[in-house]
Structure 1
Amino acid sequence: METAIHLDNITLRKELLPGDLGYIAYMHGKQYAHELGYGLNFEGYVLEGLQEFARKYDTVKDRVWICEHNNQIIGCMIGFHRGQSVQLRYLIFLPEYRGVGLGKKLMNEFMAYMRELGYKKAYLWTTNEQHAAIFLYTKYGFRLTEEKVSHAFDKALTELRYDLVLPEA
């Protein structure tokens, strides 16, 4: 008998370890090829971004959240410093972990990270096909600021930029 997945059984590791970035690329490439038909160019895009992150990773300014269940990585999210703002990247978790509150937990972590480090602005890029993620982002105050038609992931889609500006305290 399969046991139900509970948020309490998922741990968030904030330390980046060797192999994590490669696994993040693997998860994105495999999952989005299967679910959305994205091709090798999408995986290349993810790898380029992760390479940049690896080279510029600053343990003070950046944050990683590696989600683990039963000692296996099941998801992640990255906050990547970009001058006075932060880019939210690589929010993903395995399909069987959807609907348990993990997205909300990660977004709460992201908002706390922004407040802790004094970031007032954040942004992210996604696609028009990421309906659940877009719902989550807009719930936390992100607003659509840019759209561009793209074939970068080996299919026609619209890339979307969302920005967040925190209110002054």
Structure 2
Amino acid sequence: MTFRDIVPSDADWLVPAHAVHYAREEGFDDTFGALVADILAAFLRERDPDRERAWIAEEDGRPLGSIFCVPLDEHTAKLRLFLLLPEARGRGLGRQMLALCTEWARARGYARMVLWTHESHRAACALYARTGWSLESSKPVHSFGQDLVEQHWSIALR
């Protein structure tokens, strides 16, 4: 497994990978893929390489995951578009990707990092809890055609 910087052509894989995975695993509707496309387009268009980074995890040239670090404000980084396809799970790659992203944010001087997810992403939430993240808030929502419990997590980087 290698981790490389994102390139614009990764959009051809990244958007459908998220959309298909979450439609199959959680019943998310097409609005989720549209959200991913919007996030990715803004990142590619407006990226500040000193403050933002994205990695693609790949094996033998095949992309298997993604993770993004973007600024929320001057002192806070936001983790986005964290995905590890099911066939790549169970090998510690999610933990590696999360560590890579948080260490990069720490090295850039961010004081904390936050993320938004759903309670139904149980493996990811368990990973966050095991690696020092704190659940800050949780509330029921109706998003992507589903009744979900939205969660906000954070971790201190200093």
**Same fold, TM exceeding 0.5?**
yes
Separation in 2 of the partners of 1:71 and 1:158? 35
Write 1 or 2 for the structure with the bigger share of strand.
2
Match of 2:93 among 83, 95, 102: 102
Match of 1:35 among 25, 29, 38: 25
Is contact 2:102–2:113 with CA below 8 Å preserved after alignment?
no
Alpha-carbon shift at residue 32 of structure 1 (Å): 0.7
- 3-state SS in 1 of match to 2:90: coil
How many residues were matched structurally?
157
Equivalent positions of 1:78-97 (< 5 A) are 78-83=68-73, 84-97=75-88
Alpha-carbon shift at residue 79 of structure 1 (Å): 0.6
Q: Which runs of 5+ in 1 are unaligned?
A: 1-9
**1:162 maps onto 2:153 in alignment:** yes
Alpha-carbon shift at residue 61 of structure 1 (Å): 0.9
Alpha-carbon shift at residue 22 of structure 1 (Å): 3.8
Alpha-carbon shift at residue 111 of structure 1 (Å): 2.4
**Which amino acid in structure 1 is aligned with residue 118 of structure 2?**
T
- Measured against aligned partners, the alpha-carbon deviations of 1:30-69 in whole angstroms (never above 9, x if no partner) come to 0110111111111122222222222321111111111111
**1:11 maps onto 2:9 in alignment:** no
Alpha-carbon shift at residue 91 of structure 1 (Å): 1.0
**Which amino acid in structure 1 is aligned with residue 68 of structure 2?**
I
Match of 2:140 among 107, 129, 149: 149
Q: What's 1:3 paired with?
A: none
Separation in 2 of the partners of 1:24 and 1:55? 16
- 3-state SS in 2 of match to 1:38: coil
- Measured against aligned partners, the alpha-carbon deviations of 1:123-168 in whole angstroms (never above 9, x if no partner) come to 001101001100111222211112232222111111111111234x
Q: Name the larger-Rg structure.
A: 1
Separation in 2 of the partners of 1:147 and 1:70? 38
Match of 2:65 among 69, 75, 89: 75
**1:59 maps onto 2:26 in alignment:** no
CA RMSD after TM alignment? 1.4
Identity percentage over the alignment?
31
Q: What's 1:46 paired with?
A: 36
The worse-fitting range, judged by mean Cα deviation, of 40-49 and 60-69 is 40-49
- 3-state SS in 2 of match to 1:119: coil
Separation in 2 of the partners of 1:33 and 1:161? 22
**Runs of 4+, deviation exceeding 6 Å:** none
The worse-fitting range, judged by mean Cα deviation, of 78-87 and 42-51 is 42-51
Give the TM-score, by structure 2 length. Answer: 0.92
The worse-fitting range, judged by mean Cα deviation, of 54-63 and 86-95 is 54-63
